[in-house]
Amino acid sequence: MLTPKITGTKQIVIDTNAMVAQVDEHDKWHEKVGGISAKLTEFGYKPVYLDCVINETVSVLARRTEEQRRSQDFSPVLTAVRRLVPKEEITWVSQEIECLYDDIMSLIEETQGKLNFHDALIALSCKESGIAFILSFDGDFDDMDWLTRIADESDIPE
């Protein structure tokens, strides 16, 4: 099962939309996520970056920079991703898909498709590893009774 890289501390999984905002200064949540991240650090939370989130983040950044005609920004934001999360700091969960497949599909069905496959994997990975918090601007995580979504500084429990 999932083995987080950080133990003995308050942990928070960083979702794709928050990670994109961290590295892309053109993102609408860039400043907001900076304030939230500072407060999380102040309160002793340690970020957990899942491999599937890294995958989606790079894909979103590639598509976004191309669509917004700012391809020159792709290399710098990719460098920012690498700097933010070195390979050895990534928590690898994708290899668990085979084991979690039935649970993922059930969760997607229970939420009537509100959670997609990727988000169901993230939510179940949090549940399996005992991580109770996710930094995300995606309200679909709010229906998970084992997961508290942080989307604002005021959401962060001390």
Q: Count Cβ atoms within 10 A of the Cβ of residue 32 and give its class: 0-12 exposed, 13-18 middle, 19 or more buried.
A: middle
How confident is the model over 122-128, as a mean pLDDT?
Answer: 95
Query: Rounded to whole angstroms, how far apart are CA atoms 67 and 84?
Result: 24
Q: Is the pLDDT confidence value at 1 over 70? A: no
Q: What is the pLDDT of residue 3?
A: 52
pLDDT digits (tens, 9 = 90+) for 73-122: 999 999 999 999 999 999 999 999 999 999 999 999 999 999 999 999 99
| Beta bridge mates, 45 | 10
C-alpha distance from residue 149 to each of 58, 94, 104, 154, 156 (Å): 22, 22, 19, 11, 9
Closest CA to 53 of 92, 96, 83, 100: 92
- Angle in degrees, 0-180, between the axes of helices 117-129 and 97-110, rounded to the nearest 10: 110
pLDDT in tens, 74-84: 999 999 999 99
Distance of CA 135 to the CA centre of its chain: 6
> How is residue 158 written in tokens?
């001390």
Domains of the chain: 10-92+132-152 (3.40.50.1010)
Quote the CA–CA distance of 121 and 100 in Å, as a whole number.
8
CA-CA distance, 64 to 71, in Å (whole number)? 9
pTM: 0.92
